[in-house]
Amino acid sequence: MKNKKKKVAFVINYFYPDLASTGQLMTELCMDLQHDFDLTVIAAQPGYAGEAQQKSKLFETDYLENIKVVRIRLPEVDKTSKVSRATYIFSYFVLANIALLKEKKTDIIYTISQPPVLGGLIGTIGKFFKRSKHVYNIQDFNPEQAQAVSYTNKEFIFKTAKWVDKLNCRYADHIIVVGNDMAQTLKNRFAHQQVPSHSIINNWTDEKEVVPISKEETQIKQFLIDQGIDDKFIVMYSGNIGLYYDLENIIHVTNHFKEHSDIAFVFIGEGAVKKEMEKYVVDNGIPNVHFLPYQPKEFIKYSLNAADVHLVVNQKGIKGVSVPSKIYGVMAAGKPILGVLEQESEAQMLIDRSGAGIVVEPQNYDEIKGSIELFYKMTKEERTTMGLSGRRYLEENLKRELSIDKYRTLLKEL
């Protein structure tokens, strides 16, 4: 007689077809685990990148292959407004708790650190009401991340949030962090005493889907022609244009290159500081900066390969707090990286070990300019060699199946 599959409830906010990078990761994880476990996903209606919401009910149940998906209808969010963001987050928190409590016979609750602190609290509450195990995947440490960018000057908010998230960590049956530097942050939270059970499982990209492709390939060539940048040296940023990357200041670097008609800066994505960046470009008459929306998932393998060099950036103070998951896609595409990252952060160490690029310290804008010039002066062969070093390292150490197997083993052992 076969053992009945254990039921795992993923409460993860973003899920297919949402374009958020976390949503894509969680979709791939669930798709690969659906034959090992009885999976339910509780997520918001798609809307991270302006995807149309088509459902009208508060809770809609759907299926993605064998995965039961409970969608929560939420108010539209304006990422430039703190009130709008807070309304969205609070609505999600309340409704996700209700949806989870309605699920029957749940063995494991899997939550992520989105929304900040409250994502973990959903699991803490659910664990006691459902008598389930709780796995807490910390993609970003908060309030440390918000504190690094001075999101609010109210210290009591940070203290309260940290107390709650330490509670989440303490009561979780297992914590997953996505970088070695983040494991150190967890240990520091508990002063290296009674550190909760945890493991490091890095994020990934589908290295079989995203592969190095020549810029002469038909779809890439057409993409470049459509944007008017087919004969340019392209510096690209692809991902969340949000609060934690210092992009609102890094954009000033483009002014230094405004007379270089053969260089193009391409920013692909959406986020809270995009309008500010666009305004700076317009106000300063910089002709060679291009802003594009998120690209469809099936086209990302082409858009990533359209670049000559990719920016992978984090704000100062983010070391040990989060890992920019875009680095895996860039390495998979075999493109060289300009990392604006703190020393001993996970992404910096990946670039250093793999030889995939150059790293400068956050807020050192002169070095960013100098590094772009250095990449520009390299031969195409030198850049190709550097990028393919990253691809080779990823194939040897960071394959998707390696990370997902670690998740599978952990959930089975719990």
Select from 111, 153, 115 the least CA-distant residue to 132: 111
Give the per-residue SS3 of 361-407. CCCCHHHHHHHHHHHHHCCHHHHHHHHHHHHHHHHHHCCHHHHHHHH
Q: So what's the pLDDT on residue 47?
A: 66
Place of tokens 């973003």: 14
- Please report, for the chain, the start and end positions of each structural domain, with discontinuous segments joined by +: 7-204+399-413, 218-397
* 62 beta partners: 69
Query: Is 310 within 8 Å of 281 (Cβ atoms)?
Result: no
Strand-pair category, 7-13 with 38-44: parallel
Task: Output phi, psi for 238, to 5 deg.
Answer: -130, 115
C-alpha distances (whole Å) from 223 to each of 51, 216, 217, 229 are 22, 11, 10, 9
The DSSP secondary structure of 271-329, one letter per residue, reads -TTHHHHHHHHHHTT-TTEEEEPPPPGGGHHHHHHT-SEEEEE--TT-TTTB--THHHH
* Backbone torsions φ then ψ of 184, nearest 5 degrees: -65, -40
How far apart are alpha carbons 213 and 334 in whole angstroms?
8
DSSP secondary structure of 199-235: EE------TTTS----TTSHHHHHHHHHTT-TTSEEE
Tokens of 7: 């039921």
Q: What is the pTM of this model?
A: 0.90
Amino acid in the structure at residue 175 = I
Instruction: Say what the pLDDT of residue 1 is.
Output: 42
- 390 burial class (0-12, 13-18, 19+ CB within 10 angstroms)? buried
CA-CA distance, 278 to 334, in Å (whole number)?
29
CATH superfamily of this structure's domain 218-397: Glycogen Phosphorylase B; (3.40.50.2000)
CATH architecture under which domain 7-204+399-413 falls: 3-Layer(aba) Sandwich (3.40)
Low-confidence ranges of the chain (pLDDT < 70): 1-3, 47-55, 150-152
Same CATH fold, 218-397 and 7-204+399-413?
yes
Query: What pLDDT was estimated at residue 54?
Result: 57
Sole residue written with tokens 């440390």:
144
Instruction: Note the Cα 248 to chain centre separation in Å.
Output: 18
Give the model's pLDDT for residue 363.
96
**What is the per-residue pLDDT across 375-404, written as a single tens digit (0 to 9) for each?**
999 999 999 999 999 999 999 999 999 999
Helical H segments across 131-176, by residue range: 144-148, 155-171
Per-residue model confidence as pLDDT tens digits over 46-101 = 865 555 555 578 999 999 999 999 999 988 877 778 788 889 999 999 999 999 99
Q: Which of 357, 345, 325, 330 is nearest to 137 (CA)?
A: 325
Q: What are phi and psi of 327, to 5 degrees?
A: -60, -30
DSSP state, 196? P
What's the rounded Cα separation, in Å, for the pair 224 and 279? 24
Joined together, the tokens standing for residue 29 give 């994880």
Q: What is the rounded distance in angstroms from the CA atom of residue 239 to the CA atom of residue 326?
A: 7
pLDDT value at position 53? 55
Question: Tokens standing for 42?
Answer: 């509780």
